[in-house]
Structure 1
C-alpha cells in the first residue's frame, strides 16, 4: 500500500511540474465532439468484439500504431482513453477502413493538441452523449470525460449503450466516486444491455469497492481476466444483458503503460 501511495504521489508531482509549463483550455460544450472516418453498417452483429485501451496519448507512435492496427480489424467496438487530436493520431484513425470514430475533448493543450476519449465502431451510433466529470484534477484543473454511445443490434428490438470512461485520478475518493455516480445516474435511463468500460483509475481498494457497489445497482458485473497480474487494476469492463463468450488481457502489448482488454459478447 505504501509503495502504491509513493507511486501516486510521484505521478502527482509530475502533474504539478507539467502544469508549470502548460496552460490548458477547457472547450465549450459545442466544441467538445469531433468525428472521424466513415462507417456504413447500421447494426452491430448479435455476436461482437469489444477492445478497450488507454493508449498513453500514442506516445510510442509507430509501435503503438502497429498494435492498434492489429486489433481494430478484429473488433466491432473500440474504446480508447488518452486519445489525441494532434498531427499524428487522427491519420491513424482514418486509415481504419469502414470505421467511424467519436472523440470528446477533455482539454486543449498549449500547443493546440486535444486529449480525451474516443469510441469507434463499424456501426454508426444512434446517439452520442458526453459527460464531463463534476470534479477536476488538482493543479492542472482539467476534467475527465465519459462518452456514451447507443448502437442498434442485429435481430433485436433492444439497443446497446456503451460508456467509455477516463476516471478522475489525483483526487479524493469522494470526487472519483461522484464521477461514477454521475455516469450511473445517466445509464439508469436505459433498460437494455449496457457496457461500461475504460480506465476507471481505481487504484485503491476503496475505489474498487464502491465501483462494484454503484454498478451493481444497475445489475452490471465486472468481467474477470485470466493471468491478471496487473499491479494496479485501473481498467475494467462492466456489462449487463450480454453473455461474455471470452475475455483477454493482452499482457504482451507494451506500446502503452496500460494493457489492452478485449471481450467477445453475444446477446442473451
Structure 2
C-alpha cells in the first residue's frame, strides 16, 4: 500500500504531466470554421441531431452512423468532437454542410471541443468557456452558440450546444449553466439549448429546470427514454415539437444520438 507522501507525489507528477500535455487556446484561436453551405435561412420545419460522439473513436462504425443521421438533419450539435485527421474529413463528406467548432483544449495538434453544423449559414457564432475547469487535466468545457434566420419569421433562432463540466462539484457545473442562461435570457426569439450536460445526479437535474424553466425553456420528453444516466438533453422555447427519439440501437459512442423535429409555433 502506498503511503500518504507517495500518493501525493504520484498525484503531483500525474498532474504536471497532464498539464504539460494539454494546451488551452487563446480566445482568438478557439473558433474554427470549415465546409460550405448556401441556405440563407433555416426552414420553418426542421430536424436537429444532438450527439456526444466520443471523439469518433469508433472510426468506421461512427462514420457509418454519422453519415446515416446527418443527411436527415438540418442542424447537427456534437460534443466531444475533434479537429484531427479523421472527424473533419467525415464531416466534409456531407454535401452543402458548414461547420463551426469551438476548441476546449489541444492535445498536440488535435483539438477537442463542441461543433455545430448545418445547411444554413449562421448569422453569428460565439462561444463560452466554462468558468471552472476539470480537475487534474485543468481543461475547460465549451458552449458554442449559433444564431439563424428562420423562414417565415421575423425572429431568429439561437442554438446553444453545451458540453457540461463533469468531474467537478455541482457548484461549478451550475455556474456553467448560469453562464449560458445569462446569454439565452437576452434573446427574444426561439431557443434550443442542448448537448451533454453531464447531469449525472438528481441535484444537477433539478437545477437545470430551476434555472431554465423561468426563461421559458422546457426539457423535451422522449417516449423511449430508458437511459440509466440522463446526461444529454434538449431544452426548447418558442417552437412546437413534432417528434423526438433516442436511438438506442446506435453503439458507436457511449452516448446515444438524440433527434428532434420542430416547427415554428
Q: TM-score range by the shorter chain?
A: over 0.9
SS in structure 2 at match of 1:27: coil
The structural deviation recorded for 1:23 is: 1.2
Q: Work out the CA distance in 2 between the residues paired with 1:251 and 1:27.
A: 35
Q: Which of these residues, 244, 252, 258, is aligned with residue 255 of structure 2? A: 258
Question: 5 Å matches for 1:124-139?
Answer: 124-139=121-136
1:248 aligns with 2:245: yes
Q: Work out the CA distance in 2 between the residues paired with 1:22 and 1:74.
A: 41
User: Contact 1:19–1:140 (CA<8 Å) still a contact in 2?
Assistant: no
Q: Work out the CA distance in 1 between the residues paired with 2:85 and 2:78.
A: 18
Equivalent residue, structure 2, for 1:57: 55
User: Contact 2:15–2:137 (CA<8 Å) still a contact in 1?
Assistant: no
Structure 2, gaps ≥5 residues long: 1-10
Q: Which of these residues, 213, 217, 223, is aligned with residue 220 of structure 2? A: 223
Q: Which of these residues, 21, 25, 28, is aligned with residue 27 of structure 1? A: 25
Equivalent residue, structure 2, for 1:194: 191
Equivalent residue, structure 1, for 2:79: 81
Instruction: Calculate the aligned-residue CA RMSD, in Å.
Output: 1.5
1:40 aligns with 2:38: yes
Structure 1, gaps ≥5 residues long: 1-12
The structural deviation recorded for 1:227 is: 2.0
Equivalent residue, structure 2, for 1:120: 117
| Total equivalences in the alignment | 253
Runs of 4+, deviation exceeding 3 Å: 16-22
The structural deviation recorded for 1:22 is: 6.2
Partner deviation per Cα, 1:159-211 (whole Å, 9 max, x = no partner): 00000000000000000000000000011110110000000000000000000
Q: Work out the CA distance in 1 between the residues paired with 2:194 and 2:18.
A: 32
User: Contact 1:36–1:93 (CA<8 Å) still a contact in 2?
Assistant: no
User: Contact 2:194–2:234 (CA<8 Å) still a contact in 1?
Assistant: yes
- Give the TM-score normalised by structure 1: 0.92
Q: Which of these residues, 55, 65, 68, is aligned with residue 67 of structure 1? A: 65
- Give the TM-score normalised by structure 2: 0.93
User: Contact 1:47–1:266 (CA<8 Å) still a contact in 2?
Assistant: yes
Q: Per the alignment, do residues 17 and 253 of structure 1 end up closer, same or farther by CA in structure 2, a change over 3 Å counting?
A: farther
Q: Per the alignment, do residues 21 and 213 of structure 1 end up closer, same or farther by CA in structure 2, a change over 3 Å counting?
A: closer
